[in-house]
Amino acid sequence: MRNILLMIMLLGSSGIFLLFWLSPPEVFLEKPVSDSDGLPKADSYMLNISMLTYSKTGEKANSMLATEARHFKRANRLEVEKPDMVSFGKTPEDQPWHMTAEKGTVIKGGEQAVFTGSVYAWQTVGPTERKELTTEKLVLYPETHIAETDRHVTITTAQGKTTGVGMWSDLDSEVFKLLANVKGIHRAR
């Protein structure tokens, strides 16, 4: 009886030893838990960036400052934190548009820029006057100076204040089309 019990213990411990010996090591390693497991990894990370782009004719087109940036080469996308962008006009005499937001994404090498979170855009029109635009999301096409949004937008000028939902605008010709729920206050001079 004693020999049978010893034999069972020997076979059992040998079986357990072989089970551990033949198992792959991944079974025993605990995988770290991360919020970014499903997110694509950026190809490069940058802090406190300053970027300047030029048009095809060699004129300044845009400049951007940001506190942090991540570049995704495969998607041809640049994600930035706290962007501060200046979009220069077609001629040097045109006043540039300035845009700030909480986050920004530059897509396809600069064909499109999407600003989200407390977007504030302005253009200086006089020594003390500005045209101002606020919204939660703004899509800018830098080459054509077209801006649009599907969110609530407020446009403020020296002549008044206009609000609406959804907007399409040509920043060069200063055409602003508000698409729904438009309300305005006009101040006579």
Q: What pLDDT, on the 0 to 100 scale, is given for residue 144?
A: 85
Q: Where are the domains of the chain?
A: 44-150+168-174
| HSE-CB for 106 with a 13 A CA cutoff | 23
Domain 44-150+168-174's class? Answer: mainly beta
For residue 1, give every residue at least 6 positions away whose Cβ sits within 8 Å of its Cβ, in sequence order, or none.
Answer: none
Residue 163 contacts residue 176 (beta carbons within 8 Å): no
- Global confidence as pTM: 0.72
Residues 99-123: b if buried by 16+ CB within 10 A, e if exposed: bbbebbbbeeebebbbbbeebebbb
Q: What is the pLDDT of residues 13-25, one digit of tens each?
A: 888 887 777 777 6
Cα dihedral 102→104→100→51 (10° resolution): 130
User: For the chain, how many residues are written?
Assistant: 189
Q: What is the pLDDT of residues 113-171, one digit of tens each?
A: 999 999 999 988 878 888 899 999 999 988 888 999 999 999 988 888 999 999 999 88
Indicate whether 92 pLDDT > 80: no
Dist. CA 14–CA 106, nearest whole Å: 61
CA–CA distances in Å: residue 91 to residues 59, 121, 144, 145, 169: 8, 20, 13, 12, 19
State the DSSP code for 40: P
Dist. CA 82–CA 67, nearest whole Å: 6
Indicate whether 106 pLDDT > 60: yes
Using CB atoms within 10 A of its CB, is residue 16 exposed (0-12), middle (13-18) or buried (19+)?
Answer: exposed
Place of tokens 């635009």: 133
Q: Choose among 175, 155, 173: nearest CA to 164.
A: 155
Q: What percent of the chain has pLDDT over 70?
A: 91
Q: What is the pLDDT of residues 53-70, one digit of tens each?
A: 887 878 888 888 999 999
Indicate whether 79 pLDDT > 60: yes
Q: What pLDDT, on the 0 to 100 scale, is given for residue 159?
A: 86
With H, G, I as helix, E, B as strand and everything else as coil, classify residue 6.
helix
Q: What pLDDT, on the 0 to 100 scale, is given for residue 48?
A: 92
